[in-house]
């Protein structure tokens, strides 16, 4: 029961649901891509990602300077609770905006995206 509570708590936030959905669409995302999607600071994104890793929803791996995140195995993808969440997310206007934003974000190499984030000029815009 403790594991279920961790998962439910980890998904009980709009930004964490957005991360979950983004990783359903893209197998793996760099932390900088998630930061850009959410339009939050690195520290805020890191807190969200850490909660999701601790709950067993996400796993992370370091690739050079970058930390990449993905869903943690088939249990997350095929769990009945995850199926219900996916169904509900598909009716969200925010998710539609996120998918359009991700299309832009995915065209920018991580190194350039990180540099532009430091300058606060990525070129991808959203109307959240």
pLDDT over 90 percentage in the chain: 57
- DSSP class of residue 39? T
> Cα–Cα distance between 97 and 82 in angstroms, integer?
21
Task: Give Cα 39 to chain centroid, integer Å.
Answer: 11
Count of CB atoms within 10 A of residue 5's CB?
10
Q: How confident is the model at residue 54, as a pLDDT?
A: 93
- Residue 92: band (very low, low, confident or very high) from pLDDT cuts 50, 70, 90: confident
Q: Note the pTM of the prediction, 2 decimals.
A: 0.86
d(CA 119, CA 2): 42
**Average pLDDT in the 51-73 region?**
92
Above 60 in pLDDT, residue 9? yes
Residue labelled with tokens 């850009």: 36
pLDDT of 128: 46
Give the SS3 label for residue 125: coil
């Amino acid at each position: 029961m403790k594991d279920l509570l961790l998962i439910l708590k980890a998904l009980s936030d709009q930004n964490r649901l957005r991360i979950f959905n983004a990783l359903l669409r893209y197998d793996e995302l760099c932390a900088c891509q998630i930061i850009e999607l959410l339009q939050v600071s690195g520290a805020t994104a890191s807190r969200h990602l850490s909660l999701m890793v601790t709950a067993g929803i996400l796993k992370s791996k370091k690739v050079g300077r970058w930390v990449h995140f993905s869903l943690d195995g088939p249990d997350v993808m095929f769990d009945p609770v995850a199926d219900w969440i996916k169904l509900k997310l598909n009716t969200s206007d925010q998710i539609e905006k996120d998918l359009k934003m991700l299309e832009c974000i995915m065209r920018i190499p991580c190194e350039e995206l990180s540099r532009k984030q430091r300058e606060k000029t990525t070129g991808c815009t959203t109307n959240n």
